[in-house]
Amino acid sequence: MDEDYNFYDEDINQPNWPKVVIALLLIVVAVASYFGYQKFIKGKEKTVPDYSISITDPLVQELYYRYNFFTETVTDFTLRMGSHLYGYYYLDSEYTPKTISPEAMLVTTFQELFNNQTLRNKEGDTSPLEIDGETVRKTMKELFGEDIVYEDQSLTEDDAYYCDRGTIVYHADTDMYQTEGDTLCSTTNTPIIKTKIKSAEKKDDTITIVDEMAYLVPTRDEDGAMQYEVYDSIDTNDLTYVDTVSTISEFAFYNYNHLHQYQYTFKKNGEEYQLTKVERIK
């Protein structure tokens, strides 16, 4: 053993107690430091709260599809989006209630009134949908906040329409909204927008939901067979080719990690949550 660490006195072969004590103290300090550090690290980890909630949580699903149905063919009354509103929230990098178009707010309001039974006709009844302007304006403020600026207006087929019922028309003389027309819905090979919720968080009175989207454009291969080119955006000024799939069912989000992602922010107002922002985050 090295002379500097000899625990015994060479002359009397007895323990050198000062050195023994120092060695024990060093061991105690080392052990204490190790466990103290581990406790500190674990303590720091615990201070980072986890606000994530399940993407299948009923509230997450309700909020997401209450506002972002512009890519879906709604089965009830087959509401279809026209070219102006199809994939609406993916047309720009950011939206707030003050910048969301009145057409988008009106369609959202009609869908809310339909979903909560206010606009539903009896099963099999294909008569026009009709509702008073006061109810529309009140519901719109419940969805988007009191500060929105909206003037009553009609929609065109380029905005949205109901199959066999036409589009939404406003009659100022009676202050009534009503579906008018006999627009037919047919299946066409138009581009398809696929979306998927990736994550959700709830912190205090705020809920954020992140989704990703892909744009599938129908084309033909060299043999004339249908195929779909996959892009990461519907913005023709900012889109990147990703892949080509033979069928829509062949497409799967997990095959791609660089698609555009968007975050939806909802804040609680009273008992309900309102959409406050949609923004592209990737």
Structure tokens at 119: 């606009």
Q: What is the dihedral of CA 181, 186, 188, 192, to 10 degrees?
A: 70
Domains of the chain: total: 2
Banded pLDDT at 137 (limits 50, 70, 90) = very high
**Pair 209, 162 in one domain:** no
Q: Is residue 235 part of a domain?
A: yes
pLDDT at 189: 62
Q: Distance (Å, rounded) from C-alpha 102 to C-alpha 171?
A: 16
263 lies in which domain range? 192-280
| Nearest alpha-carbon partner for 162 in 86, 107, 84 | 107
**Residue 151 pLDDT > 70:** yes
The pLDDT tens digits of the residues spanning 195-254 come to 999 999 999 999 999 999 999 999 998 899 999 999 999 887 888 999 999 988 899 998
**Pair 125, 70 in one domain:** yes
Residues in the chain: 282
Q: Is residue 38 part of a domain?
A: no
Please indicate whether residue 25 or residue 62 has the higher confidence score (pLDDT): 62
Tokens 């107002």, located at residue? 269
Q: How many alpha carbons fall within 13 Å on the CB side of residue 132?
A: 4
**Pair 146, 224 in one domain:** no
Q: Is residue 35 part of a domain?
A: no
**Pair 158, 257 in one domain:** no
Q: Is residue 185 part of a domain?
A: no
**Pair 131, 198 in one domain:** no
Query: Can you tell me the mean pLDDT for 35-48?
Result: 61
Residue type for position 124: G
The pLDDT tens digits of the residues spanning 74-100 come to 545 578 888 899 999 999 999 999 999
Q: Is residue 147 part of a domain?
A: yes
Please indicate whether residue 238 or residue 23 has the higher confidence score (pLDDT): 238
**Residue 186 pLDDT > 90:** no
**Pair 168, 218 in one domain:** no
Q: Is residue 31 part of a domain?
A: no
Tokens 């990690």, located at residue? 257
**Pair 102, 161 in one domain:** yes
**Pair 126, 206 in one domain:** no
% of residues, the chain, pLDDT over 90: 51
The pLDDT tens digits of the residues spanning 248-279 come to 889 999 888 889 999 999 999 988 999 999 99
**Pair 265, 232 in one domain:** yes
**Pair 205, 275 in one domain:** yes
Banded pLDDT at 35 (limits 50, 70, 90) = low
Mean pLDDT of the chain: 84
